[in-house]
Amino acid sequence: MRADKMAMANSIEVRVPFLDRDVINFALSVPEAYKLRDGVSKEPVKRLASHFVGREAVYRPKSGFGVPIQEWFRSQLGEHMHSILVEDKTELEGYFDLAALKRHLQMGPATVHQAFQLWVIFNFLIWHRVFRAGQEVAVS
């Protein structure tokens, strides 16, 4: 879901869509019983794909792509965010409780959820620097 949102936000297609009119019309004409069979979704597509890439690859369980975001905030990303909070303190006071943010950064995020909250705030800080304050941001 995050990959889709980030890709769409940057006008990037990360999956090959089935957008051919004939494919769409065919998919809409297939009865529901064939699309979801024995709890397996996209059954016709998977059955066809299994002839080319093998049944094991097609019917395996989904596997997520984890990002070590908590560790990032406990190291360089957290240090970088802290420096932004210190450098841009007067401009950011109207948006956040900077003391609370600094405390969270010093302790490190206890959960992935907290880390993603910090990630959203970090992205806001970068956006603010570029589009509100007119500063350049180095990406490394």
Asked whether residue 140 is domain-assigned, the answer is no
Claim to verify: residue 124 and residue 90 sit in the same structural domain: yes
Claim to verify: residue 73 and residue 127 sit in the same structural domain: yes
Asked whether residue 138 is domain-assigned, the answer is no
Closest CA to 133 of 97, 100, 84, 98: 84
Q: How far is CA 16 from CA 2, 13, 19, 137, in A?
A: 17, 7, 9, 32
Claim to verify: residue 45 and residue 83 sit in the same structural domain: no
CB 101 within 8 A of CB 121: yes
Ramachandran area for residue 60 (φ above 0: left; ψ -120 to 50: alpha; else beta): beta
Claim to verify: residue 25 and residue 76 sit in the same structural domain: no
50 beta partners: none
| Tally of domains in the chain | 2
Neighbour count for residue 118 (Cβ, 10 Å): 22
Which amino acid appears at position 22 of this protein? D
Asked whether residue 122 is domain-assigned, the answer is yes
Claim to verify: residue 74 and residue 55 sit in the same structural domain: no
Q: Round to the nearest angstrom and report the end-to-end CA distance of the chain.
A: 25
Claim to verify: residue 82 and residue 33 sit in the same structural domain: no
Claim to verify: residue 30 and residue 82 sit in the same structural domain: no
Asked whether residue 77 is domain-assigned, the answer is yes
User: CA 71 to CA 63: how far, in whole Å?
Assistant: 21
Range of the domain at 34: 2-59
Q: Which of 14, 31, 59 is the last residue of a domain?
A: 59
Q: Which of 35, 59, 83 is the last residue of a domain?
A: 59
Asked whether residue 38 is domain-assigned, the answer is yes
pLDDT at 133: 75
Q: What is the pLDDT along the chain (140 residues), one digit of tens a residue?
A: 677 777 778 777 676 666 788 988 988 898 888 888 888 888 888 989 999 999 999 998 877 777 899 999 999 999 999 998 888 888 888 888 989 888 888 888 999 899 999 999 999 999 988 888 787 777 65
Claim to verify: residue 88 and residue 34 sit in the same structural domain: no
Claim to verify: residue 45 and residue 82 sit in the same structural domain: no
Claim to verify: residue 16 and residue 46 sit in the same structural domain: yes
Neighbour count for residue 61 (Cβ, 10 Å): 4
